[in-house]
Amino acid sequence: MKFTLSWLKTHLDTTASLDEITDALTRVGLELEGVEDRAAKLAPFVIAHVVEAVQHPNADRLRACKVDTGSGIVSVVCGAPNARAGMKAVFAPPGAFVPGTGITLKVGEIRGVQSAGMLLSAREMGLGDDHDGIIDLPVDAPVGVSYASWAKLDDPVIDIAVTPNRGDALSVRGVARDLAAAGLGTLRPFAPVALAGVGPSAVDWAIEDTEACSWVLGRTVRNVKNGPSPQWLQDRLISVGLRPISALVDITNFFTLDLGRPLHVFDADKVSGGRLTFRAGAGESFRALNGKDYTVRPEDCAIADSAGVQSLAGVIGGEATGCDAATTNVFVECALFNPVRVALSGRFHQLTSDARQRFERGIDPSLLPAALEAATQMVIDLCGGAPSEVVAAGAEPAWQREATLRFARLRDLGGLDVPADEAVASLESLGFRTLRRDAASVTVAVPAWRNDVAANTALEPSPDLSAEKLAAAAAGRAEIEPECDLIEEVLRLRGLDAVPPVSLPVSGIVPPATLTPRQTRRAVARRVLAAAGLAECVTFSFMAHEHAALFGTAPEAQRLFNPIAADLDQMRPTAIATLALASARNASRGYPDLGLFEIGPAFHDDGSQSQTAAGLRCGTTPRHWAGPQRSAGAMDAKADVWTVLAALGVPMDALTVTADAPGFYHPGQSGCVRQGPKTVLATFGALHPRLIAALDLPGPVVAFEINLDAIQEPKRRKKGLPDLPSLQPLKRDFAFLVDATVGGDAVLRAARGAERTLIAGASLFDVYTGDKLPEGKKSVAVEITFQPRDHTLTDAEIEAASAKVVAAVTKATGASLRG
């Protein structure tokens, strides 16, 4: 909210400096957004008298002027058509910066005539768009005086951010009240005199929608003369960014800002049937003061006369009954509207207005009579006329509430010991009235304008709470919330910097582990993948549903109702999808060879989500003198999976790989990593070439996704003793001829399990297919490590063990030993 320092001082009697005021505003919770001191940039400009203005000897469109600046007469060349002898104008001396042109003036010569300064237009001073000519000041403007101070532009404009709970601070008076309470002066009294109305009002009220409007006052002022407002009012409105319209309209805007009390003026002669009714909308349209047409719904509260809807209550008035220069009888509306209804109407119709802003935060429900009197007085002062009697409908609602503060709670909740007397004084300075007080506590009446204190709005408790728990919690809330409200008031007037900080007490000097096992898994996976050469990314959880559909079904259940962009409308089925898009972006920048990973959520068709580690590799290894380049293959993705799973303590021997990975993988180069028949820990493989084409990826991409939620916590048993035999192991190679369809893993497992006591390890070191082998066969070579236990093995023992290996592999896979 914006206001000027002088406006503030109409409510606040203070000697505080601007800085003291702005510091205090921020301290008490009315955060300073900025101070605009318009005088600062106008400082060099003075009022000058144009003594002579003659045709420039060498230029048709220029005038050569002699200008009295108050400190001597100078020669100025001026191009403005309205420059004439005898006028008062604004002069910028050499050295002055002209904001509208961005130029710093120098003494110069224009076509042979010296120009030692400039006469300014409004636009050149940055004071508007008027560039028809130089500013033409009244003849009595004093020569040599600062233009800014003469024009009263040296009144700083203060802009504050008002939080949604503080409707009362959306008024100059409310701000002044807070500042006075914070010790920056005294709040001036506000007590408008009740005007004796004569005769009935030309218009009266009826309320049908009592939920939307509980109370309304109005009054006709007859025989007014509407015209431009006086300069002081125009200045105030302009200074805070409002456009003066006419005295009657400006008066309503003034009180909206001054008292936070929106008003509306109807031209009484344009109201049909002599009655305005607050009622639910019924689909009628009306043209609002902004020139646009609105259709009111049953949810909206309309103000209607016998001709139809004339206004949207609390949000915007209508054009048909608005005041203009011809208005002679004005009907002033001063109403109390339901904040929620105003907010919902404003939101639906996408209308923001100063009135809506105040009504939806809640205005002072007791202020209506005084505000109407003050407004009437100003109408009479500015426009003349005679007031009628006040007409009313509805009644002042019961807004009175109490709140109790136990003084010890200032320390025990607020962390600041405040003496009881000081706390009570603070509350009273904010308008709270002491009802009861003892040594330990005070009970105060909440002022009408503080609808945020002790508001007692409805709880929205969890439906799962037991009746007993809910009752205790609700009773506790009813007791504690008003007290918290008061603690906040007492603390904010002192500034929260006054509260001494206290480090959190800890149970011991060494903290317990912070991460849960599930969180640790994520951290380990992240470090392992980064150590494996992949760069961690954070990609969006949503993507284009067309792209998501390439990776799954892109169900409606996971599609945003209101996406911010068409390409961000679907929750991703897998982070591989967004990483693939990221790799495409990198390729288009000239970086096609990379490895990326992300630890993040995947969103499933059933509406659930899981925690995954996904990654991809694309392109080739860098060229290097020491060896050939290598393209990323499906087995690289499997290696990434294996590295992570091993690091997470998964029993690797128990894993199986099946060839039924999701359809976005290459069907012949992908697998599912399973632990037991049901649990899929990961998938990996080359991405399907169709997908590569659809996403415009530059070449093959291999990817993996690990479901971190599926990984079980390793049994944290103590490790057994290590196996450290004293005899050397010995190794034997076996090459088996098997059907090409037999998995290498089957051969390895059979060999490994052939003999329990001697075989300590088995590794698969060669796979061969080619012309030298029978059609449909391949050779799988395995190295077996035999570990003697208590004696060096004899040839016969080695032979026997080897025979077991061959027999086991043959039995399991139909293999034969290659000769």
Partner 1 sequence: MTDDLLALQHATDAALAAATDLRAWDAVRVGVLGKSGSLTEKLKGLGALPPEQRRERGAAINVAKDAITAAIEARKAVLEAAALDAKLAGERIDVTLPPALSALGLIHPISRTMDEMAAIFGAMGIAIAEGPDVEDDWRNFGALNIPAHHSAREDMDTFYLPGLNGEARRRVLRTHTSPVQVRTMLGQEPPIRVIVPGRTYRADHDATHSPMFHQVEGLVIDRGITLGHLKGCLIDFLRAFFGISSLPVRFRSSYFPFTEPSMEVDIGWNRRTGELGGGGDWLEILGSGMVHPKVLANCGIDPREWQGFAFGMGIERVTMLKHGIPDLRPFYESDIRWLRHYGFSALAAVALHEGV
Dihedral (CA of 241, 243, 244, 248) sign: negative
Of residues 118 and 490, the one with the C-beta less far from partner 1? 490
Tell me the CA end-to-end span of the chain in Å, nearest whole number: 93
Q: How far is the CB of 588 from partner 1 (least distance, A)?
A: 11
Alpha carbons 692 and 163: distance in angstroms, whole number = 51
Of residues 169 and 392, the one with the C-beta less far from partner 1? 169
Q: How far is the CB of 582 from partner 1 (least distance, A)?
A: 3
Q: How far is the CB of 212 from partner 1 (least distance, A)?
A: 13
Burial of 129 (0-12, 13-18, 19+ CB in 10 A): exposed
Helical spans, DSSP H, in 13-56: 18-27, 38-42
Of residues 702 and 750, the one with the C-beta less far from partner 1? 702
- Tokens representing 323 are 């005041």
Q: How far is the CB of 336 from partner 1 (least distance, A)?
A: 17
| Half-sphere exposure at residue 728, Cβ-oriented, CA atoms within 13 angstroms | 2
Q: How far is the CB of 209 from partner 1 (least distance, A)?
A: 16
The 10 Å Cβ neighbour count of residue 464 is 7
Q: Which helix (H) or strand (E) holds 779?
A: strand 777-786
Of residues 626 and 654, the one with the C-beta less far from partner 1? 626
The 10 Å Cβ neighbour count of residue 602 is 23
Q: Which residues contact 204 (CB under 8 A, 6 or more apart)?
A: 218, 274, 275, 276, 391, 393
Q: How far is the CB of 561 from partner 1 (least distance, A)?
A: 4
Of residues 506 and 721, the one with the C-beta less far from partner 1? 506
Of residues 148 and 587, the one with the C-beta less far from partner 1? 587
Task: Give, as one character, the DSSP assignment of residue 193.
Answer: P
Of residues 609 and 631, the one with the C-beta less far from partner 1? 609
For residue 664, give the nearest of 604, 574, 534, 567 by alpha carbon: 574
CB 328 within 8 A of CB 270: no
Q: How far is the CB of 22 from partner 1 (least distance, A)?
A: 13
Q: How far is the CB of 301 from partner 1 (least distance, A)?
A: 14
Burial of 280 (0-12, 13-18, 19+ CB in 10 A): middle
Q: How far is the CB of 464 from partner 1 (least distance, A)?
A: 7
CB 152 within 8 A of CB 31: no
Of residues 412 and 766, the one with the C-beta less far from partner 1? 412
- What values do phi and psi take at 151, rounded to 5? -85, 10
Alpha carbons 716 and 754: distance in angstroms, whole number = 29
Cα angle value 38/39/44 (rounded, 5°): 130
Of residues 194 and 474, the one with the C-beta less far from partner 1? 474
Of residues 17 and 816, the one with the C-beta less far from partner 1? 17
Of residues 629 and 679, the one with the C-beta less far from partner 1? 629
Alpha carbons 740 and 779: distance in angstroms, whole number = 8
Q: How far is the CB of 669 from partner 1 (least distance, A)?
A: 22
Q: How far is the CB of 480 from partner 1 (least distance, A)?
A: 4
